[in-house]
Structure 1
Amino acid sequence: MGARPTAVQIVITGTVTCIGKAVFAAGLTGLLDAVYWKPVQAGIQEGADSETVALLAGLSADRVLPEAWRLTEPLSPHRAAELDGVEIDAEALTLPPTDRPLIVEGAGGLMVPLNRHTLYIDVFARWNAPIVLCARTALGTINHTLLSIEALRARSIPLLGVVFIGDRVVDTQKTIAQMGKVRVLGRLPFLRSLTPGTLSASMQELFRATDFIGVDK
């Protein structure tokens, strides 16, 4: 018998922190009927992103994989780990095999340190899984997004495309697409009422599963 085919693996990262990346990750996990994993969670006292994603995507426990590292303080992972008296072993972070598509959520942006030697982007380069880059539509996003695109391409990391989060800003979105020579996968607006139902409906309306995994869902 041959080896079992590997399920689709997609890494979600952002241009900056606190832009709604976890909400989009929840939406995409639901849209693709996937499994969710956040390897490193810093700030567990404020609630873990895995809990938010499980609630918003309506996931059973077996579709939310446990974090490799759970850190107390809501800081950069390298510093949060130091305060907890540990050091993140970045080399030990490997993509887990799954039967369903796997959605992996990073912490903050690409250049977030995991320890004093390794950035998250270094781990992404080793994984070589397609990246979905979440970008806000507010002022400053052109610079942040183009820098992130350049960093990914400098390391030959596959970039699936950009997802915008926030209000529609036509010129900003167009400028990033043109100057970054990147595919725009869609835009998730801020939802006045954020519930599993409203998120699922928005994802179904605004995104196509085929743009992420190449098959109809």
Structure 2
Amino acid sequence: MNGFFITGTDTEIGKTAVTAALAQYLSARYRVGVFKPVQSGVTNLFESDASYLSRAIGYPGPCQDSFAYSFTKPLSPIQAAEFAHESISLDKILDMYERVRKRSEFVLVEGAGGLMVPVAENLLMADIAIKCNLPLLIIARPDLGTINHVLLTIHTARSLGIQVRGVIINGYRVHSSGPDIEKTVSLIQEFGDIEVLGVIPWIEAPDTMSLIDLISQWIQNSNQPIANLG
């Protein structure tokens, strides 16, 4: 099965926007399926991660077809489920994933947070990534600490037998006073033995769907390796 499991090095780094933009971009070549095993902090399904992913590929069905669990409290999946007095089942997640996989030629699965986020008792997000059997894409910030966060994620993934396809840095401000981005890329590639597939610039947009469209256009026009994914 072609596809990627997409994880982040942190929360609030634009992982959903990048995943949805990739899905939109790849839809020109494949019948793309999108899946969010668990989402939290959702008070309006139309503005949820799964909804943005579904809308990016023009999926005609309800966004409920693209996630297994959705919770209102903005907490880790295990905590959000406990707050809602629910339990999360790996079997249900994999059953929903299988449905998406069967109707698709290319699948993008977006995790919640990072690989080591607790989902349920004795279940981490990394365990779901392993079960999906897809190579990993890592989305990272361009800020101080990124090198350490990325290398830790790569090390964790490889120690668990998860293939890491590459790293995408999102939201780089050209005139930022933060770390030199070229040096950051170089060090990640050297110490992680991995390819940095792209550095997506900071893009201003009036809403999330507009941002997804603009990132997708940037990927299409980019001469960086991210444009060759798939």
Distance 1:208 1:151 in 2: 24
CA contact (8 A) 1:77 1:115 kept: yes
Please give the secondary structure, in 1, of the residue aligned with 2:24: helix
Structure 2, unaligned stretches of length 5 or more? 175-180
CA contact (8 A) 1:36 1:63 kept: no
CA contact (8 A) 1:138 1:166 kept: no
CA contact (8 A) 2:19 2:53 kept: yes
1:43 aligns with 2:59: no
CA contact (8 A) 1:15 1:145 kept: yes
Return the offset for 1:93: 2.2
Q: Which residue of 1 aligns with 2:214?
A: 198
Distance 2:171 2:226 in 1: 20
> What is the aligned length?
206
Distance 2:227 2:163 in 1: 17
Cα shift readout 1:140-179 (whole Å, capped 9, x = no counterpart): 1111110000000001101111111121611111111110
Q: Which residue of 1 aligns with 2:187?
A: 175
CA contact (8 A) 1:9 1:129 kept: yes
Distance 1:27 1:20 in 2: 11
Distance 2:39 2:109 in 1: 12
- Cα-Cα RMSD: 2.0
Return the offset for 1:190: 1.6
Q: Which residue of 1 aligns with 2:11?
A: 17
| TM-score, structure 1 as length reference | 0.86
Distance 2:66 2:103 in 1: 13
CA contact (8 A) 1:31 1:209 kept: no
Return the offset for 1:189: 1.5
- Decide which of 86, 105, 128 is 2:133's aligned counterpart: 128
Q: Which residue of 2 aligns with 1:3?
A: none
Q: How does 1:50-129 map to 2 (within 5 A)?
A: 50-55=50-55, 57=56, 59-62=58-61, 65-94=65-94, 95-96=97-98, 97-129=102-134
Distance 2:126 2:18 in 1: 20
Give the % identical residues.
Answer: 33
1:145–1:198 Cα change, 3 Å? same
Structure 1, unaligned stretches of length 5 or more? 1-5
Which has a greater percent of helix?
2
Return the offset for 1:209: 6.8
